[in-house]
Amino acid sequence: MSVTREDVLNALKTVKDPVTGNDLVAAGLVRALTVDENGVRFVMEIDPAKADPMEKARAEAEAKLKSLGIDKVSVAMTAHSAAPKPPELKGTARPKPAGPEAVPGVARIIAIASGKGGVGKSTVSANIATALAAEGRKVGLLDADVYGPSQPRMLGVTGRPASPDNKTILPLRNHGVTMMSLGLMTQEDEAVVWRGPMLMGALQQMLFQVQWGALDVLIVDLPPGTGDVQMTLAQKTHLNGAIVVSTPQDIALLDARKGIDMFNKLNVPIYGLIENMSTHICSNCGHEEHIFGHGGVAKQAEKMGVPLLAEVPLHLDIRTASDGGAPIVVSQPDSPQAQVFRGIAKQLIADGNA
Ligand SMILES: Nc1ncnc2c1ncn2[C@@H]1O[C@H](COP(=O)(O)OP(=O)(O)OP(=O)(O)O)[C@@H](O)[C@H]1O
């Protein structure tokens, strides 16, 4: 899709908010905007009493975007009162800080990003987190992938996090990693609601009201793309660095470049690129094949002057391990596949980044 985020915003600026008379963007109605090859998604946060006129604005916005040639436009309308909330937290009205704020007890925050979905960002995050834990680091993993939280499954964690004092949320822990996920705050079939207005608030709660304890490093598994979650995270807290995961395919690389540009604009250092699904290693015979091509990420990294942290092979065991709730670093720590992730962890520690 050749339509840019800018094009989308410009189109939305031509639609009037029937309540304030401003355009939708100026009225702050467009939330969690994601523009990628799957289309355009965003949320309009509305006053439920104004649902009828707002529905007209929503339909107009959708029609305008479709007229740009965008096939899939998904505009969800939500109201604060209608969204299910995470544990009701009392007495926690925080003064809204203007700039980024440190997360108490957390020494460093590293974001793991990808330009597009399905490149293995969550798999990489889970394995880096467990590999850092294996090196003796105190590690947290925040699953901020609102469009498909997968860390509970990958780390084999179930249950709802408790909030005994109604002020803080107790994270869960497995394989030496302290973990919190938006996926644990919703019923499975309700995940879509997090695309709503609660999203930014929920993200802030995940950062500041979860009792992370003392951590050397908090890994944040971001949603794919360059949407509002990434911006919010970089604005609300201090991101020490970012790692961008890509597959060798051209399109994924192009998207990865957008991700890198975004972090550059946000002044977040890029620790490096990871090429995932680099080489296919047959689990029967060990034969190596470059299904998606090979070396593209290395070339791109060189071109952009960022390090290539690792090339992770496409291997069935990596998938089955994650699906089984124990990442390969935990279930087969001595396998060559696990060694790749352990190498990344050692590198991050050696560089003073984790
Ligand atoms: N190196 C790999 N070898 C084999 N399977 C892999 C590898 N990396 C990821 N996978 C599998 O690919 C699928 C997608 O991976 P994952 O969920 O980590 O991607 P993602 O980028 O986080 O996706 P999304 O952003 O859409 O959530 C999963 O089934 C995962 O087990």
SS (H, E, C) the chain: CCCCHHHHHHHHCCCECCCCCCECCCCCCEEEEEEECCEEEEEEECCHHHHHHHHHHHHHHHHHHHHCCCCCEEEEEECHHHCCCCCCCCCCCCCCCCCCECCCCECCEEEEEECCCCCCHHHHHHHHHHHHHHCCCCEEEEECCCCCCCHHHHCCCCCCCCCCCCCCECCEEECCEEEEEHHHCCCHHHHHHHHCCHHHHHHHHHHHCECCCCECEEEEECCCCCCHHHHHHHHHECCCEEEEEECCCHHHHHHHHHHHHHHHHCCCCEEEEEEEEEEEECCCCCCEECCCCCCHHHHHHHHHCCCEEEEEEECHHHHHHHHCCCCHHHHCCCCHHHHHHHHHHHHHHHCCCC
Distance 318 CA to ligand 1 centre (A): 9
Nearest CA to ligand 1 atom 27: 148
Distance 15 CA to ligand 1 centre (A): 38
pLDDT per residue as tens digits for the range 38-64: 788 877 777 777 878 888 998 999 999
pTM of the model: 0.73
Question: How many domains does the chain fold into?
Answer: 2
Q: Which domain holds residue 303?
A: 106-351
- Position 217 scores a pLDDT of 98
pLDDT per residue as tens digits for the range 69-116: 988 888 777 664 433 444 555 545 555 555 788 899 999 999 999 988
Q: Are 201 and 277 in the same domain?
A: yes
- Position 98 scores a pLDDT of 57
Name the binding residues. 115-122
Higher pLDDT among residues 249 and 189, named by residue? 249
Q: Are 229 and 271 in the same domain?
A: yes
Q: Are 33 and 129 in the same domain?
A: no
What letters, b where the CB count within 10 A reaches 16 and e where it falls short, cover 92-102?
A: eeeeeeeeebe
Q: Which of 203-207, 244-248, 274-278, 329-333 has the highest mean pLDDT?
A: 329-333
Per DSSP, what are the bridge partners of residue 312? 276
- Position 89 scores a pLDDT of 54
Name the binding residues for ATP. 115-122
Q: Is the CB of 312 inside a 6 Å radius of any atom of ligand 1?
A: yes
We report the CATH number of the domain holding residue 27 as: 3.30.300.130
Q: Is the CB of 123 inside a 6 Å radius of any atom of ligand 1?
A: yes
Query: Which numbered atom of ligand 1 lies nearest the CA of 312?
Result: 1
We report the CATH number of the domain holding residue 201 as: 3.40.50.300
pLDDT band, residue 197 (cuts 50/70/90): low
Q: Are 129 and 249 in the same domain?
A: yes
Q: Is the CB of 150 inside a 6 Å radius of any atom of ligand 1?
A: yes
User: Which of 279, 322, 332 has most ligand 1 atoms within 8 Å of its beta carbon, as the pocket-test mutant?
Assistant: 322
Per DSSP, what are the bridge partners of residue 275? 246, 311
Predicted complex: ipTM over 0.95:
yes
- pLDDT of 196 > 70? The answer is no
Nearest CA to ligand 1 atom 9: 120
